[in-house]
């Protein structure tokens, strides 16, 4: 085991995201908040010692995160909310910042060739 020079952020949908999701016409299955908060997106972010630094980083990439979360449910952008602001991101998502990341495996991390969140 070894410490990794990254921190993590967990993106958790809130009720407004669920309301949008359940309101999409193509959605035949009605989900609960517990359903969509059960298996959330976890991001490696730059190493931070203060929560505020992690939140600031999330603010900087919130537009890409918002799109990524929407696309994980519906790739059709026509059903996405048209005005995706930083304020709306924080209304739709909780973010947990965790400063310590430990790798428990001896094998190297394999990176995906797809650049999901390019800066």
- What is the C-alpha end-to-end distance of the chain, expressed in Å? 30
Where does 63-110 show beta strands of DSSP type E? 93-98, 102-103
> Per the structure block, which two tokens stand in for 116?
């999901």
Q: For 27-75, write each residue's pLDDT tens digit.
A: 888 999 999 999 999 999 999 999 999 999 999 999 999 999 999 999 9
Distance separating alpha carbons of residues 62 and 116, to the nearest angstrom: 13
Tell me the pTM. 0.86
Strand 2-3 and strand 6-13: pairing?
unpaired
If you search the block for the tokens 């973010």, which residue do you land on?
95
Cross-strand partners of 103: 2
């Amino acid at each position: 085991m070894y410490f990794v020079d990254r921190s993590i952020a967990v993106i958790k949908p809130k009720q407004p995201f669920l309301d949008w999701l359940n309101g999409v016409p193509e959605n035949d299955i009605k989900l609960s908040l517990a359903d969509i908060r059960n298996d959330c997106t976890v991001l490696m972010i730059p190493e931070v010692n203060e929560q505020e630094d992690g939140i600031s980083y999330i603010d900087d990439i919130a537009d890409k995160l918002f799109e990524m979360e929407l696309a994980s449910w519906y790739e059709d952008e026509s059903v996405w909310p048209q005005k995706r602001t930083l304020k709306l991101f924080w209304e739709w998502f909780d973010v947990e910042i965790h400063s310590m990341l430990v790798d428990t495996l001896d094998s190297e991390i394999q990176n995906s060739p797809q650049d999901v969140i390019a800066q």
